A and B are shown apart, each in its own frame.
Chain A
Amino acid sequence: MAAMKKIKYLIIGNSAGGIGAAEAIREVDKTGPITIVSDEPYPAYSRPLISDYLARPCPVEKMAYRHPDFYEKNRITILLDEKVVQIDPDKHTVKLDGGTTLAWQKLVLATGGTPIFPEIEGNRLKGVFTFNRLDDAKAIDDFLNRHHDGVKTVVIGGGLIGVSVTEALVKRNVEVTIVEMKDWVLNTILDEEASLFEAQALTRAGTDIITGYTAVKINSHLPGEVSGVSLDDGRVLPCQMAIIAIGVRPRLDAVAESGINVNRGIIVDRRMETSAPDIYACGDAAEAFDFVYGVNRLTPIWPNAYEGGRTAGLNMAGKSAEYPGGTAMNALKYFGVYIASAGLVTPPDDSYETLINRYDGIYKKVIIKKGKLSGMVFAGDIEKSGIVYNLMKDGVNVSKFKEALVADDFGLASLPKSIWKDRLDSTPPRGVTVITSIEKPEELVIGD
């Protein structure tokens, strides 16, 4: 093979993780060539916004995750609509599906997740969709535009993806039934009580929720088209569209034969480096450190992808950085209901202590083990949830003030001074001019 010019930093994936890596590299190395490969045709966009897109289609620029001049300004070569099919860790190359081979010095795999697609009968019919990418939203939009009158939809799976596609569909006046296998919607990120906030909002919006059952078949009366979904109790839900939203798993097709160690996701250390030298991984594709569980696991959420990508990027550019750890953390506002949760949402055994406060339609719960927070759920009002989340992240012992964490008047002042003092700038540094007012001192008036 002719000597190929090696790309200094090759990033596979153009979403939160990939951009996090690129921005971190540029903080350290202003000039080293960076190339990002993406199998999507768009500059980086905010994936969570595909729900807003489906609710009200808009130009893709409105969903941009970074300003239009991002790639140019950071001197990043972007290869869109190109899929990496093979990685060769020894030769330090990757192969694209068009046949091109790229050589690199440092590589980061920010390949994201792919929808779990159950092998049930009818899953290839027209009118069956997943909802993970902008093109999925576009395809659903297109389907709705071609079927003007009352498209009934069954959303299979009541997790984040299922609820977010439902919100968009409701805004499009589509009748939706959510089928959730477990006992309540959003069960991986909410406890039963907070889930009820969401379920009530969904019901108010006209959505039917069926829990405890699962879809076993997608029916078709007219060839190729969806006519309904059959559940495991024999019930049939008539519909013209079915959306599969049972979850995502790491996208590992390119990694498969590379020899890189993989568990459920790509295995990385705290530096986000994989088992292969010079290869890093982050985001939904990787198993990164979870500070609540104290182990590496999949936490496929946007902020963790960015954070992991950033750690990878710093290390790729020669710094020594450790991933601070992340955990499942989500802030939701579906149908205008604010909910925030992080870590555990239900205690797994009785070695945990749970504190709950309910007032004025607000629900606050924290889960504590050995004095430290391991989970939280705030519903109805999420202001100041960040204070609690960061106490959990920092591993602060909260035993002495745990009741305050869920109190109605909780705030920074409820914490010991040593903690808030650390988080607030309370004393201006010595030797700088301190301004406290723009008014000039009153002049002394003498006599009349």
Chain B
Amino acid sequence: MKKVYINEQVCIGCGLCEVYCRLKHSKSKDLVKAYKKETPRPLSRIRMDESGIVSLSVRCQHCDDAPCIRACLTGALSRDPATSLVNVDEERCIGCGTCSLACPLGVPKLDPSQKKMVKCDLCQDEEIPVCVANCPNEALSYAEVPDESLKTNQVII
């Protein structure tokens, strides 16, 4: 599987990753509507964390050891065997926030209007995720996770 890598050295914190993510996950695919008119308001799956000169574009890492899946109360979170992505089944998600509390990055976002959790899906229908494609400074890159880390027989608890 591929992952989004972030190079904080060149991230200028412009927030375009959040903008494009929200646009991508809107129904209208129209920037003005996505921000001002669409209900339910689409949410960005990316969070920009900033402190001083450091900006971090944070999203789900689809970890090998995904504590969110194990913590999920309803079984809505699972790993897709075909893509290795951590997916949320919106039908079964109740938006309780247990995954968010379990996540070391705190990335699962709660959508209060929909009472669901939303998370990064790596834009499965795109060639590369829109955040990467539209990062003006190439702070985000998309690359294959090396095989060794996938093949490890180590069982993670």
Q: A: which residues have CB within 8 A of B? A: 20, 27-28, 46, 48-49, 52, 63-66, 302-303, 306-307, 310-311, 314, 319, 321-324, 329-333, 336, 338, 340, 342, 382-390, 404, 409, 411-414, 417, 420, 423-429, 431-439
Contact = CB atoms under 8 A, between A and B. Distances in A.
What is the size category of the interface that chain B forms with chain A? Answer: 35 or more
Contacts of B138: 436-437
Given A389-B102, A413-B52, A428-B143, 8 more contacts: A307-B70, A333-B96, A333-B110, A382-B101, A385-B100, A411-B58, A423-B105, A436-B140
A435 B50 contact: no
B141 interface: yes
Contact of B105 (A322, A331, A409, A424): A424
Contacts of B140: 436
Nearest to B76: A46
Contact of B75 (A65, A311, A336, A385): A65
B101 A432 contact: no
B149 to A, nearest CB: 8
B94 A413 contact: no
Contacts, number: 179
B125 interface: no
B63 to A, nearest CB: 9
A423 B104 contact: yes
Given A46-B75, A429-B145, A333 B95 contact: yes
**Best-surrounded residue of B3, B54, B109, B135 (most CB of chain A within 10 A):** B54
B31 interface: no
Nearest to A420: B56
Contacts of B115: 333
A386 B103 contact: yes
7 contacts: A331-B101, A385-B100, A411-B51, A413-B51, A414-B51, A429-B143, A433-B143
Given A409-B50, A411-B49, A423-B104, A20 B70 contact: yes
B106 A385 contact: yes
Interface of B: 3-8, 47, 49-52, 54-56, 58, 61, 70-71, 73-75, 92, 94-110, 112, 115, 127-128, 132-133, 135, 138, 140-146, 155, 157
Nearest to A303: B71
A420 B103 CA distance: 13
Contact of A28 (B107, B145, B155): B155
Nearest to B103: A386
A412 B100 contact: no
B51 A409 contact: yes
B143 A432 contact: yes
Nearest to A340: B101
A302 to B, nearest CB: 5
A66 B74 CA distance: 8
B5 A310 contact: no
Most chain B CB within 10 A, of A20, A66, A329, A436, is at: A436
Contact of A435 (B7, B47, B142, B146): B142
Contacts of B108: 386
Most buried by B among A20, A382, A387: A387
A384 B106 contact: yes
B74 A425 contact: no
A303 B143 contact: no
A204 B142 CA distance: 48
A439 to B, nearest CB: 8
